[in-house]
Structure 1
């Protein structure tokens, strides 16, 4: 690493600092303490006061003043029954309670696979309070590789599994990223999803999974150039939230997004030394 340009190392370190800062958000992914499906009729749930239910179209919460619940958006106390409706895959930081400010725990309403669920996000969770950063491999310039993007004529929806076995997902594939990596003599093709402003995301398996890395990771790829060339910097491969919590519904890679090499770059298992 001593021979690398200082600017490159500085950019990577800035990326790592920003990544750890984002993970340490007060009600971020490290604070999840439960995932619970809502049913009909109204019923109590774990780790949150009130009575919760859904008719399949709308989620409902009934509370009394002693429950100490308030709406996240307005801060207004929840008394009686309040409702919310979401489209599939949407989430809402809905209500909060607990702690000196009444906002230690936020209850997130989510709709997944056509069903309503809630997730509690507790700012006092040890996963957050004991967090010191995600372990990573050291920066390796050889894992910054050139490739090309081969777009499909139209996006293709591919059914996938997720980190929650009860939630199915869909990967909207917009094309394939084609490249070679160190230690392999053949090309790889990873199906990609499109993000904002034309950037891409690839979700992939590799031979380090389950040993030094989580079962899968993802990599953001900057928007392809006019000639469709791209750069994949696997030093910036990151974990999905499901690496840190059992309450995620993160998408798994599509069937063919597997690399038969050890990608010893990017983030490691959160429990790695």
Structure 2
């Protein structure tokens, strides 16, 4: 292996190490244990104390001191009624309880599809405690692709589904990534969303889905580069394709690919289907 190839593999291995650390945070995506819609009347929920409700605009929680709930932000005990309001797609790590430090479980308040829901995040979940990394394909230099990027004049909002059939989503496409794959004679065009600092994220299907990989994955690129002629390009490194949280938990609301973001090829690079604890 030459020096350049060795450096590429080493960078990928650092990426994989950081990815595993990010997944294994105490109340991260590996700790979700429920997703529950709030009702209009105060009622108990599974896996968390207190009475929960919403009037559609505000979420309300009523609990007594003996329930052991405290606010995540301040640690202040919940003894009585508290409220919170979110915009659609926002989330709030709201209250916590349990364990020796009173912080084993965090209850996340979320607004999805203009409805309030809660998700419990339990740091004792075996999905987290037995996590040993995500299986991946071996590094494949042939799937580091130089792609053209064709930006739209303005972002285009495209309705999409999500991992939760009761939650619709929107993909804000800022342009298309255009490329060819080795050994295939036709061109691909995939919609991209813009992330922080101009990076792009492409959510896609391919023919490994449902076999060696989850139902869909995503891959991010650095900010597009523009040459002297004004043409933009990105490096599309499928070795950095990762799973959405919904691959690890049934309680995600992760976006599906835009219609047409499907590759009639096996992308044998990046993350495989996770091996989850029973």
- Bin the TM-score by the shorter chain: over 0.9
1:256 aligned onto 2:260: yes
Q: Which residue of 2 aligns with 1:241?
A: 245
Provide TM-score, normalisation by structure 1: 0.98
Shift in CA distance, 119/148, structure 1 to aligned 2, threshold 3 Å: same
Shift in CA distance, 211/2, structure 1 to aligned 2, threshold 3 Å: farther
Q: Which residue of 1 aligns with 2:108?
A: 108
Q: Which residue of 1 aligns with 2:124?
A: 124
1:185 Cα deviation from its structure 2 partner: 1.0
1:162–1:250: 8 Å Cα contact kept in structure 2? yes
**Runs of 5+ unmatched residues, structure 1:** none
**Runs of 5+ unmatched residues, structure 2:** none
Please tell me the root mean square deviation across aligned C-alpha atoms, in Å: 1.2
Distance 2:6 2:260 in 1: 37
Q: Please list the CA deviations of residues 193-244 of structure 1 after superposition, one character each: whole Å capped at 9, or x if unmatched.
A: 0001111000000000000000000000110002311110000000000000
Moved more, 203-212 or 177-186: 177-186
Instruction: State how many pairs are aligned.
Output: 272
Distance 1:190 1:172 in 2: 13
Distance 1:30 1:190 in 2: 29
Q: Please list the CA deviations of residues 112-170 of structure 1 after superposition, one character each: whole Å capped at 9, or x if unmatched.
A: 00000000000000000000000000101000000111011111100000000000000
SS of structure 1 residue aligned to 2:226: coil
Q: Which residue of 2 aligns with 1:166?
A: 166
1:83-232 residue pairs with structure 2 within 5 A? 83-227=83-227, 228-232=232-236
1:3-42 residue pairs with structure 2 within 5 A? 5-42=5-42
1:181 Cα deviation from its structure 2 partner: 1.1
1:174 Cα deviation from its structure 2 partner: 0.5
1:3 Cα deviation from its structure 2 partner: 7.9
1:93–1:106: 8 Å Cα contact kept in structure 2? yes
SS of structure 1 residue aligned to 2:239: helix
1:183–1:261: 8 Å Cα contact kept in structure 2? no
